[in-house]
Structure 1
Amino acid sequence: MSTASATAVRPAIRVAGIEKSFKGLHVLRGVDLEVEPGTIFALLGSNGAGKTTLVRILSTLMRADAGSAQVQGFDLAAEPGAVRESISLTGQSAAVDERLSGRENLVLITRLRHLPKPGLVADELLERFGLTDAGGRMAATYSGGMRRRLDIAMSLIGEPPVIFLDEPTTGLDPQSRKEVWATIRSLADGGTTVLLTTQTLDEAEQLADRIAILHEGRIIQNGTLAELKRLLPAATVEYVERQPTLEEVFLTLVGTAGGTNR
């Protein structure tokens, strides 16, 4: 295989045998996974499964006790600076400064990263994330979904090829969650590689190209949704009258009440 071909198929993220313990408590027990470029990879697990710990290791905020990992071909231990230049991390709590407007938040981060034309960068991101009309308002007035979309927009300044989203819809109402889901899909459609941690089953089902289930520090299954479903016995076909869920009712009702800038 030529060098160009090898580069084209190289995983955006490769993890091999990552281990981490805290005061004798084994949080990660040899994690292995690969994430293909431009895909959404969901790391699914309950609280305490080790999802956030793995993300902190991959984003160079924490050192692994054992194992190795590469992001965009850069070794985590040997080239942490290059890894940091290739990634962005959006945690469970938004990093938005609520005392600033949406546009001011974006301009601030652009200047901190010493990038040219911060106003133009801010305006382009506001438009991309459907926040143009709200760009001049203080972020404190934003809904949860708008604040989270702004947070993700801030993390994309500098166009990192890989983004880690650690439970990005935690605490959001159903409408805001749908808005964030649309944003995440647009990232992958634009070629960004997304590693998403979640404990919400329908979030992984709706978004992910591949899903890994992390349980007690180990990946116990890894595959597409279709592959994971084939692990269970074939469903018995029954014909029943299906009633809409409360979430469907809620989204239908609020969907007629206005646009996204609420």
Structure 2
Amino acid sequence: METTRQGAAVNARGIGVKGPRGWAFRGVDLTAEPGALIAVRGPSGSGRTCLLLALTGRMRITEGHATVAGFPLPKRMGTVRGRTALAHVPGVADLEPALTVAEHLQEQALLGRRGAPFLWGSRRREATRAVVNAALAAAGLDPDTLPKGLRTCVRDLERLEALRLSVALAVMHQPYLLAVDDLDLKLSAEERATAWQLLRDVALAGTTVVAVASDAPADALVVTTGTTATTDTTPTPATGGTHDTHEEEAAHAFAETGRA
């Protein structure tokens, strides 16, 4: 398959998703090598979130052809879902404000143990600790910098800290492709640079990364959504980010197109 370490190649030609209110997006072309850093730009309501869901096998492509890690979409949506992960996608991959950082990490560690050989006692705790520590390191989330360490509730996290936690939870599943929504929403210019460096580090470690953002660094492959979306390598000036108001329609299309 088209993978290197944990990275997935992405190839799409003329893909689009049509929901109950019409086309969420269409005409998207994308060719990305394993371990690529991809930015999705476009006006609010242009289907950016839907594109993330489509490329991760969570929304059925209506037209066009695509492969992720060599698996065709929509035919192998289930396989693609199992090899991809979402971070901070409203309504699909949200953090629970009332839970602590530790509780989120423990929950994901347990989910990740499904299908793995069962370990008892100290061996299980050590295995879980190793997975959690690796995820925290990959996301650059240092518990010592949090108000109450791992006992800090999500509601008390800063925006960038919450993003790091969401990425940490996603990489615990060792995805071939990581999709992140609203990367630069409500972040300062310095925080945006830090967020992109976080994703750049994940990509450099081998995982293909695709993120929705209003701005893109010079080294990112840029895809623009809209009526006639095309690959674009010229980033726009930083604007601080805006939330995609197409989210409601994405949820409707998500429900209509199905998960398999």
Q: Name the TM tier (shorter chain).
A: 0.7 to 0.9
Once the two structures are aligned, what percentage of the paired residues are identical?
25
Of 72, 75, 84 in structure 2, the residue corresponding to residue 75 of structure 1 is: 72
Q: Is the 8 A contact 2:196 2:217 kept in 1?
A: no
- CA distance in 2 between partners of 1:11 and 1:98 (Å): 32
Higher relative contact order (CA 8 A, sep 6+): 2
Q: Which has the larger radius of gyration?
A: 1
- Which of 224, 230, 239 aligns to 2:233? It is 224
Which of 126, 130, 137 pairs up with 2:136?
A: 126
What is the Cα-based RMSD across aligned positions, in Å?
A: 2.9
1:100 deviation in Å?
A: 2.9
Deviations 1:45-78 (A, max 9, x none): 1112221122222222221222222111112222
**What corresponds to 1:95 in structure 2?**
94
Instruction: Find the residue that maps to 1:48 and give its secondary structure.
Output: coil
Q: Which runs of 5+ in 1 are unaligned?
A: 230-244, 248-262
Equivalent residue in structure 2 for 1:193, among 208, 228, 245: 208
Deviation string for 1:87-111 (max 9, x for gaps)?
Answer: 0112344722333332321121110
Number of the residue aligned with 1:66: 63
Equivalent residue for 2:257?
A: none
CA distance in 1, matches of 2:37, 2:21: 33
On the 8 A contact 1:19/1:64 being kept in 2, the answer is yes
Change (3 A) 1:174 1:34: same
Shift of 1:141: 2.1
Give the match's secondary structure for 1:167: coil
1:170 equivalent in alignment to 2:185: yes
* TM-score between both structures, scaled by the size of structure 1: 0.72
Aligned residues: 218
3-state SS, counterpart of residue 215 of structure 1: coil
* Separation of aligned partners in 2, 1:214 and 1:19: 10
1:7 CA drift (Å): 6.8
Aligned equivalent of 1:111: 110
* Structure 2 counterpart of 1:111, one-letter code: L
1:42 to 39, 42, 48: 39
Contact 1:45 1:213 in 2 (8 A): yes
Contact 1:92–1:170 at 8 Å: present in 2 too?
no
1:179 & 1:137 partners in 2: Cα distance?
A: 22
